[in-house]
Structure 1
Amino acid sequence: MRLRLVPEETHIDFFKARKVTFGASMILMVLSLVAWMVMGLNFGIDFRGGTTIRTQSVHAVDVGAYRDALQPLNLGDVAISEVFDPTFAEDHNVAMIRIQAQEGEESVTNETIQSVETALQGVDPDIQFTSVESVGPKVSAELIRTAVLAVGISLIAIMFYIWLRFEWQFSLGAVVALFHDVILTIGIFSVLQIRFDLATIAALLTIVGYSINDTVVIFDRVRENLIKYKTKPLQDVMNLSVNETLSRTVMTSGTTLIALIALLILGGDVIRGFVFAITWGVIVGTYSSVYVAKNIVLMLGTKRDWSKPSKTEGNQYANIDN
């Protein structure tokens, strides 16, 4: 017996409320952009420049006392937050201290780090610095440019690939769906103020790859069915194609989410932002493959005569005229 999460044959009308689903997606994209502009992103040290110090102690973290101890050092913008994780033991108290890049310096000097440690030991003698990461302002600015360029080039390359493999309508639908996934991910990071760093950029690129893979699988089935059913309305062909690939979509997304949720819960705070981005991306990417990419193609229409040379020409579709 084989495990089936969906029946072998389904007849779900995915486009019954297509105006509602597509409209909701567009509204969420606008709200995400507004949240991004109004609330901004909680940039990590990679993009802001400065130094991040991770501390650990057997005593509870007192953020107010830490801040008062560092105030006389005149370090500028200092952000202190306690790190919570279900995997931590009772005596495992972790804090994250972010210090802005100092004027005229590429990073916080060793003397400054030593003075920070001395000041905090006055509050908690058992405090330890488990990691110290520094990024200069020039490097952080370069990283931002490189990150934007990486995401932009990937979207352009995907659009060109889909255009060559299918038609321009499919290419536009795929790229709009990818923009939808990326913008909604940035939006939820802005609303929840989750740290946005280089790992998040890697997650965005992973989301783009995962989403386009699911979209291309369905597009392939749509093309096959357009050849097979030459007179069936485009909406019906797309519905049939999504239903035929539904089992594969659910199994792929489901097994991926099982691993991601396990990492989200047990993986620790260091990779939590990265894992959360991919988890969210898998969900919205699966949704956009059906309710965004296919809606764009449906609105634009596409040709029904796929007369390009093909290895299958003259065999399985040769005598089908329904």
Structure 2
Amino acid sequence: MAFRLKLVPEHTKFDFFRWQAGTFGFSAMLVLVSALLIAIMGLNFGIDFRGGTTIRTETTTAIDVGAYRSAVAPLNLGDVSITEVFDPTFAANKHVAMIRIQAQQGAESATPELVTGVEAALRAVDPAVTFTSVESVGPKVSGELIKTALLAVFGATAAILFYIWLRFEWQYAVGAVAALVHDVTVTVGIFALFQLKFDLSIIAALLTILGYSINDTVVVFDRLRENLIKYKVMPLRDVMNISVNETLSRTVMTSGTTLIALITLLVLGGDVIRGFVFAMTWGVVVGTYSSVFVAKNIVLYLGVNRDPKKPAPSPGAEGFDAVP
């Protein structure tokens, strides 16, 4: 007999609408707070969106951020941010720093003289320092990247709205898009709260979150559509509860296995991909929550067309086989 891991029993009877007002109000509050954080605190844009130069340094001696800052101050480079990078995978004698320099007026990218001057200034403080990478983005390019990133997120959301509208009904589309707006806003709000670097890799993470979240939502909606045909006179609230319970095992297993991989990358993947992986990890958690507690609540409020003329599925039919 094959061994099957079950994190959730096959037949559950959780009442997901028991605290309906509380869960929906909590989600609305999260979206509102996140929007305020984005508006008030702003995002810590990376070089991709802000323009400028990022220099990554490595040394075998302990980094003195104050000494680094004093060394580059006479160069009059404007806004200069120096941060030490901590990573559990680094060796004991490996110390990494990231130096971000604002875009210089009249220059589309960092000039060789600028990079050489910074290197000379830092070597005067720490002769063991090495420069492993230099990245430059001009102000014009960074502005275009912001517009393209926003278009990518809005375009993906609009395409999902259209797809759900065609596959189900407009009420499902509104519920799905509300869940996606919730996921993206709360994820970006976390980046604003902790002032984590927001660059193109985070946009890629947001688009991935959209796909992951809508996949989970569609699974619940598909089962709901099947059950609406099967239980013609049962109240919509009860049919929704049955549908979520029937897909709960799949939801927990999918999200759980995804989180195992993401948390492993978050701990051991290194600082280069940490922002992307953090956004994905948080997005999976929020996306799973919104599929259960946001999307279906919107559909319940709007109601659905329950056509009694639709034929009931054949006995024993399950999954997509039950869809006419």
Q: Which amino acid aligns with 1:28?
A: L
Number of the residue aligned with 2:222:
220
1:184 aligns with 2:186: yes
Unaligned runs of 5+ in 1: none
TM-score (norm 2): 0.95
Q: Cα distance, 1:317 vs. partner? A: 6.8
Q: Secondary structure at the match of 2:228?
A: helix
Whole-Å separation in 2 of the counterparts to 1:241 and 1:307 = 21
Q: Is the 8 A contact 2:206 2:279 kept in 1?
A: yes
Whole-Å separation in 2 of the counterparts to 1:294 and 1:175 = 11
Moved more, 299-308 or 206-215: 299-308
Q: Cα distance, 1:8 vs. partner? A: 1.1
Q: Is the 8 A contact 1:215 1:293 kept in 2?
A: yes
Q: Which amino acid aligns with 1:316?
A: S
Number of the residue aligned with 1:266:
268
Q: Cα distance, 1:196 vs. partner? A: 0.3
1:24 aligns with 2:26: yes
Q: Cα distance, 1:17 vs. partner? A: 0.4
Q: Which amino acid aligns with 1:272?
A: R
Q: Is the 8 A contact 1:163 1:171 kept in 2?
A: yes
Whole-Å separation in 2 of the counterparts to 1:236 and 1:52 = 55
Q: Is the 8 A contact 2:229 2:313 kept in 1?
A: no
Number of the residue aligned with 1:36:
38
Residue-by-residue CA offset, 1:192-224 (whole Å, 9 max, x unaligned): 111000000000000000000000000000000
Q: Cα distance, 1:225 vs. partner? A: 0.1
Written as runs of structure 1 = structure 2, the 5 A alignment for 1:154-173 is 154-173=156-175
Q: Cα distance, 1:280 vs. partner? A: 0.2
Number of the residue aligned with 1:56:
58
Q: Which amino acid aligns with 2:314?
A: Q
**How much identity, in percent, do the aligned residues show?**
69
Whole-Å separation in 2 of the counterparts to 1:203 and 1:315 = 39
Residue-by-residue CA offset, 1:264-297 (whole Å, 9 max, x unaligned): 0000000000000000000000000010000000
The alignment's C-alpha RMSD in Å is 1.6
Task: Give the alignment partner of residue 73 of structure 1, picking from 75, 79, 85.
Answer: 75
TM-score (norm 1): 0.96
Number of the residue aligned with 2:104:
102
Q: Which amino acid aligns with 2:51?
A: G
Alignment size in residue pairs: 316
Q: Cα distance, 1:147 vs. partner? A: 0.1
List 4+ stretches of structure 1 deviating above 6 A. Answer: none
Written as runs of structure 1 = structure 2, the 5 A alignment for 1:78-157 is 78-157=80-159
Number of the residue aligned with 1:11:
13
Q: Cα distance, 1:305 vs. partner? A: 1.3
Whole-Å separation in 2 of the counterparts to 1:315 and 1:286 = 28
Q: Cα distance, 1:316 vs. partner? A: 1.2
1:293 aligns with 2:291: no
Residue-by-residue CA offset, 1:148-199 (whole Å, 9 max, x unaligned): 0000000000000000000000000000000000000000000011100000
Whole-Å separation in 2 of the counterparts to 1:314 and 1:235 = 19
Residue-by-residue CA offset, 1:58-91 (whole Å, 9 max, x unaligned): 0111110001000110000000000000001111
Written as runs of structure 1 = structure 2, the 5 A alignment for 1:229-268 is 229-268=231-270
Residue-by-residue CA offset, 1:109-147 (whole Å, 9 max, x unaligned): 011100100000000001000010000000000000000
Provide closer, same or farther for how the CA distance between residues 190 and 314 of structure 1 changes in structure 2, counting only shifts above 3 A: closer
Written as runs of structure 1 = structure 2, the 5 A alignment for 1:275-294 is 275-294=277-296
Unaligned runs of 5+ in 2: 317-324
Q: Secondary structure at the match of 1:79?
A: strand
Q: Which amino acid aligns with 1:37?
A: A
Whole-Å separation in 2 of the counterparts to 1:235 and 1:314 = 19
Q: Is the 8 A contact 1:78 1:99 kept in 2?
A: yes
Whole-Å separation in 1 of the counterparts to 2:94 and 2:86 = 10
